[in-house]
Structure 1
Amino acid sequence: MGNKSLIFCGNSPEFLDEKLTKESTAANGGTAFRIPSLINANGTLIAAADKASCGADWGYIELAVRRSEDGGKTWSDIESVAVPPARETRKSAECYASAFYIDPCMAVTKEGEIIMLADFWPECMGIHKSKLLDKKKIAYAMHDGKMLPLIYDRNNNFYYVLPNGEVLDSKKELTNYTVKAPLGSLYRNNEYLGNIYLNGAMGKNEESAKTTFGAPLKTPKRCYVFMLKSTDGGKTWSEPKDITNMILEKTDGTFLGVAPGTGLTLEDGKIVMPLYTLKNGSVSVFTTDGGETWHRMRRNPYAQNIGEWQMIAAPNGTIIGLGRQKIFGKTPVCISDNSAKSWIKCKKTALSAPQCQKSVITAGGYVFCSHPSGKERENGVISIGKPRMIKGSYEHIDWFKDIEINKGFFAYSCLAQIDDDTIGVLYESQPSSYIEFQTFKISEITK
């Protein structure tokens, strides 16, 4: 084991052991943290996570990043790169009076640009309270050859939002409303009417964030996929952009979400990102133009995998996807031999883990997978294996060794290759608000 450091640390005893909150500083701190993502962009490490007002999977949640230009020895101060609109930001799991981002997943283009996808939810409790979701409302509709977002009034009349923010009524006639993207501010002429992602009046603010109130026209409550991009190694980021209209299928229901961790950059420059639904399995989407447009195979819209998943490329270009178990046991696997256009379900691989996200990368001819090794979310390890070709296809990974990351609690994690002989892992070592980073030498752990 090499360098070890604390990257994100909560400062609230309500969500983290009080002794550990004393390690929270202006450089690494916030109320609560979860869901790590880690990538190497031309030698600069980018660590991302959910920065939240509480330990729940809803409420006020920003996306935050830190950068390292020396292989993880030192890190920049924490910076929020995506901030949701909110009516309240109370430090309580009972509060959900806010839109929120959650579950970052990053990839690096051949040109070194960073793409981040994440879920975005209007004010609700996400998948944890489905009765709050708008199952019968359509989120997008075709107009003039473009798939446009819809917003609704309290009588369920719908309106089209044009790319320039102008709003058409259901008869496709221009109104005096405008919507400011991506924050969702609604105006009538020059009068501010509130936010289309929020429900009611402004409330209590405990995070020093900018709060507002709900607009009379609202977007359907469902999960949206937003994209951010950095062209300078993570120093600055674009405004979040809704890409859901390019990849959504009717059969997805109210949830098409991002599988947190990292995407995969293929030899031809294509970026493949892992998503999933609650009904039909995993989903891969891809871009060939640096995130300007996104695509999804319509004939084979789902991969037969389970929930959150991650991907690697075998030596011959076959893509192998490792999924999340429903119960403790072997890991679900699917493969693609055509650059993620379609997927084939395979036998489970002999890598046992509980129901939890895992991370997988290739480096130095090996496969590395970080995950909890206990029956519960505990005892983090990096499993080491080698892809094996059978009948011309790399469908199997021979796992031969586990390297201990920690003892005790271990949940979500993300691996990245730092240099020719070093990998790093960003991981949750507490149920909430404590995300650490460690490095390992490939030559040492593969002996």
Structure 2
Amino acid sequence: MAYESSVPYRAGTEGYTSFRIPAVVRARSGDLLAFAEGRVSSAADSGTIHLVLKRSADGGRTWGPLQVVARNGTGTAGNPAPVALDSGRLLLLQVHNAAEATEDRIRRGRVPPADGRRVRLQHSDDDGATWSPPREITDQATLPQWRWYATGPGHALQLRHGPYAGRLLVPANHSTPPTDPRDNGTEPRYNGGHALLSDDDGATWRIGYRDSDTDRSVAPNETTAAELPDGSVYLNSRNEAPSAWRRVDAVSTDGGEHLTRPFRPQAGLTGPAVQGSALPLGDRGGLLFSGPAHPSARALMTLRSSRDGGLTMGVPPRERSRAWGRTAHTVTGLPAAYSDLVRLDRDSVGLLYETGDFSAYSTITFRRIPVEEPT
């Protein structure tokens, strides 16, 4: 079967050295909005970085001109976490920091708070054609002791089922300082995951669940979330701990306020340490997950599916370590890294992902992929 692909972003073009960190949502108009970090002078994670956007009116087959959504002077505006509200309004959560505030320096506590990770929010009421100036929400979204901080990256959620319908949920992560002052604070065990919640369409925010330092084999980092038909939220996270488990997952049944259990290893999703994306399928508990499937390298972008909300692949309980084992679609055998999924229609999804012939960061590519609803 031939799959339609397009390339909205290519490194070394349109005034940017590199494009990283894809996120995609479908606007009320049906247009697709593909966000990314436009890295101006280098491919590094810090420096002068803009949040940029391209639009597709034909389901990702072609893309319009590049639009700069947010700048932070000579510093960084990054980690896009967009969400399309039922009202039609689009929200874009993001994180800003000074150009010289590298992740290492922030984790070590060597950056003043004003130059460190600041959480900001923009909105659009015209399907992304224009955007409000970034609004500071750091005091609502963080705790004073947190150092490193990131929203998403990837699409956020507005819950649509159950008693918490309408709530906004943004997966995020943070790091905490060490208890031993002789420690520099850069160890993976200081990573933690949390959610940002809003019950008034983004006017105000609060911190929901927090999960950090529950076990030395688990250190949640970049997290993706998917709402299940019963209103519960499935959370799947990159694991930064030096263990055999590269993915960890959890579930919330109260709209992201708490977890039913801490993040635990998800052995059925093999792959390297990397961000991934989850997307619900239909009303029977089906889920898709996108991410590299190579056990150690950022390569072999693959869609894998679960038919029971991420628990198992419908196999007997004694074989539940095979959860997520079914490959729904092998996207590419080439290098590949970050990705984000979006529902296009009943029969297809879109995947926005980093890939290239010899480097995972040469392009951000979009692919239309047919899917089957769980039966």
Residue number among 208, 223, 226 corresponding to 1:309 in the alignment: 223
What does residue 159 of structure 1 align with? Answer: none
1:231 shift after superposition: 1.1
Tell me, which stretches of 5 or more residues in structure 2 are unaligned? 176-189, 312-319
How far 1:266 moved relative to its partner? 0.3
2:305 counterpart residue number: 384
Instruction: Please give the alpha-carbon distance, in whole angstroms, between the structure 2 residues aligned to 1:131 and 1:48.
Output: 26
Between structure 1 and structure 2, the one with the greater Rg is 1
Which residue of the other structure, out of 340, 343, 346, is the alignment partner of 1:414? 340
Of 63-72 and 431-440, more deviation after overlay is shown by 431-440
The match for 2:171 among 271, 274, 279 is 274
8 Å CA contact 1:328–1:353 kept in 2: the answer is: no
Native 8 Å contact 2:211 2:262 kept in 1: no
The residue aligned with 2:33 is 46
Residue in structure 1 matched with residue 10 of structure 2 by the alignment: 9
The residue matched to 2:140 in structure 1 has which SS? helix
Q: 1:322 to 1:290 in 2, by over 3 A?
A: same
Measured after TM superposition, the shift of residue 247 of structure 1 is: 1.9
2:254 corresponds in structure 1 to: 338
CA contact (8 A) 1:105 1:259 kept: yes
For residues 386-430 of structure 1, the C-alpha deviation after alignment (integer angstroms, 9 at most, x for no partner) is 12598xxxxx86542241111121100111001111100001103
Q: Are 2:9 and 1:80 aligned? A: no
2:51 equivalent among 63, 80, 87: 63
Number of aligned residues: 329
- Specify the alignment match of 1:105 in structure 2: 81
Aligned-partner residue type, residue 413 of structure 1: S
Q: Secondary structure at the match of 1:235?
A: coil
Q: Say whether 1:372 aligns with 2:292.
A: yes
- Structure 1: distance between partners of 2:89 and 2:256: 21
Shift of 1:432: 2.7
Secondary structure of the residue that 1:324 maps to in structure 2?
strand
Residue correspondence of structure 1 range 96-175 to structure 2 within 5 A: 99-130=75-106, 134=110, 139=113
SS at match of 1:245: helix
Give the structure 1 partner of residue 314 of structure 2. none
**1:125 shift after superposition:** 3.4
Residue 237 of structure 1: aligned partner: 131
RMSD: 2.4
User: Structure 1 residues 107, 328: closer, same or farther in 2, change over 3 A?
Assistant: farther
Superposed, which structure 2 residues align to 1:190-339 within 5 Å?
A: 220-252=114-146, 254-267=147-160, 268-278=165-175, 279-297=190-208, 300-302=209-211, 306-326=220-240, 329=245, 331-339=247-255
Give yes or no for contact 1:329–1:354 (8 Å, CA) kept in 2: no
**Cross-structure match for 1:439:** 368
Residue equivalent to 1:348: 265
Cα distance, 1:352 vs structure 2? 1.2
CA contact (8 A) 1:132 1:221 kept: no
Indicate how the Cα distance of structure 1 residues 446 and 411 shifts in structure 2: closer, same or farther if over 3 A, else same. Answer: farther
* Cα distance in structure 2, aligned partners of 1:232 and 1:330: 39
1:328 positional shift:
5.8
- Work out the CA distance in 2 between the residues paired with 1:389 and 1:225: 30
TM-score (norm: length of structure 2): 0.81
Take 2:310 and 2:170, find their aligned partners in 1: how far apart are those partners? 24
Identity percentage over the alignment? 23
- Report the TM-score, using the length of structure 1 for normalisation: 0.69
Determine helix, strand or coil for the equivalent of 2:145: helix
CA–CA separation in structure 1 for the residues paired with 2:237 and 2:169: 16
Distance 1:51 1:389, change over 3 A: closer
- Residue pair 2:281, 2:374 contacting (<8 A) in 1 also: no
